[in-house]
Amino acid sequence: MTQPIKLLMLTHNYPRFKGDFAGVFLSLLARKLHHFNIEPIILAPHAPGLKEYEEMDGVKVYRFRYAEDENEVIAYQGNMHKIVLGSVSGIFQFKQFLNAFEKKALQVIAKENIEVIAGHWLVPAGIVMKSLAKKTAIPMILSSHGTDIRLMRKYFAVLYRYLKNFCLTLKSWTVVSSFLQNGILEMDDRLQNILEVLPMPHDESIFYKDESIKRDENLIVAVTRFTDQKRVDKLVQAFALASEKNNQIKLQIYGIGQLQDEIESLIEKLGMKENISIYAPLPQDELREIYNKASIVILNSFEEGFGLALSESMLCGAAVIGTDSGGITDIIQDEKTGRLVPLDNPEKLAEAILKLSGDKLLRNNIAQNGYEFATATYQSKLLANRYADIVKEALK
């Protein structure tokens, strides 16, 4: 067998410790690539308490420092764009971050004899790759997972003008949904030949039907974040409407975010404190248990890049409901693999909840269809194999 290809994966989001959910799908991809004669090497930001180098599950992980521990706040918080746009000091912090990212990347490239560079998220990895492209002839590929494209279209249209010539030199640009592909082509249709829809692989060793867990026919689950994009307020309103006709159902929400206090106030205002519970995010193995207990899983989100909570819960045998928005439409075929409802329409969402919760046969049929679709579509081996092929093609 030939020596494995040395692949440097640049990301601002990667698990910091065992059980961390930050960028966990990249960790799975990295582990799977070993099976296809590729050695992935990760470069991600440092954070307080982390090592600057370690091996996690057999994968080399380098972390770059960009400030003193107490000031390393740009990554892993989910608010990078707000820090950058919030003040002049935020822009300065971001520049320090990018400079440190690039400097460490060059060091790792030399030390590890890197053959291909793979960036994850156009911002910030794409910015760093543009600078690296001036200093190395290493072929580059890029992957977008949703947030980067959505925010660029909203805030950073000028940024693409800065990056477009570099983007046209990429060997490949993968996106996790056709929604993201279309969004990029709206900005620049010259990218058609390098764009490919390729979801991240799912971990079947974690997300599967667990026959030892009894499903609760009245349990509805949402795994989300308390942000404007996720529209948790509309979900709460819809659940309150559904509860008026079916007082047996209950909703469990797993997530964190800056709007949590507002959501808790809304729950109290609607008199739903006994019916709706909020919990902190869970490690993946515990999340599998929740998906296996739930009869319905809902993602009521605006322009979601993909919708991982839906596909993971489908693998666990739950019926799903999602908004007719963004990448969710790649996952749900309405009335076949799940239910699609209009965005920001609590009444229609309540109708879908009542229909599925009140019709066990329909719910089971949709759950089975969803399970078969997810099992066939999101296999880790299949998707990692295609990603490996893209890496190998970049070298040709």
Q: Domain coordinates of the chain in residue numbers?
A: 5-201+379-395, 219-377
The model's pTM: 0.91
For residue 148, the model assigns a pLDDT of 78
Tokens of 263: 């959501």
Domain at 5-201+379-395: CATH code: 3.40.50.2000
pLDDT along the chain (396 residues), means of 10: 92 91 91 97 96 96 95 83 75 94 98 98 94 97 86 69 92 96 90 96 94 97 95 98 97 95 98 97 93 98 94 98 96 97 98 97 98 96 97 96
For residue 345, the model assigns a pLDDT of 98
For residue 155, the model assigns a pLDDT of 61
pLDDT digits (tens, 9 = 90+) for 129-186: 999 999 999 999 999 988 778 777 666 567 788 898 999 999 999 999 999 999 899 8
- For strand 319-323 and strand 339-341, is the pairing parallel, antiparallel, or unpaired? parallel
Buried b / exposed e across 347-381, counting CB within 10 Å, b at 16+? ebbbbbbbebbeeeeebeebbebbbebbeebbebe
| 5-201+379-395 and 219-377 share one fold | yes
Q: How far is CA 373 from the centre of its chain?
A: 19
Residue among 226, 224, 230, 205 nearest 27 (CA): 205
For residue 1, the model assigns a pLDDT of 59
- How far is the CA of 308 from the CAs of 199, 332, 362, in angstroms? 10, 12, 23
Cα distance between residue 339 and residue 335, in whole Å: 5
CATH 3.40.50.10540 holds for 219-377: no
Cα distance between residue 46 and residue 73, in whole Å: 10
Q: Are 334 and 286 in contact (CB under 8 A)?
A: no
Residue among 144, 147, 142, 145 nearest 132 (CA): 142
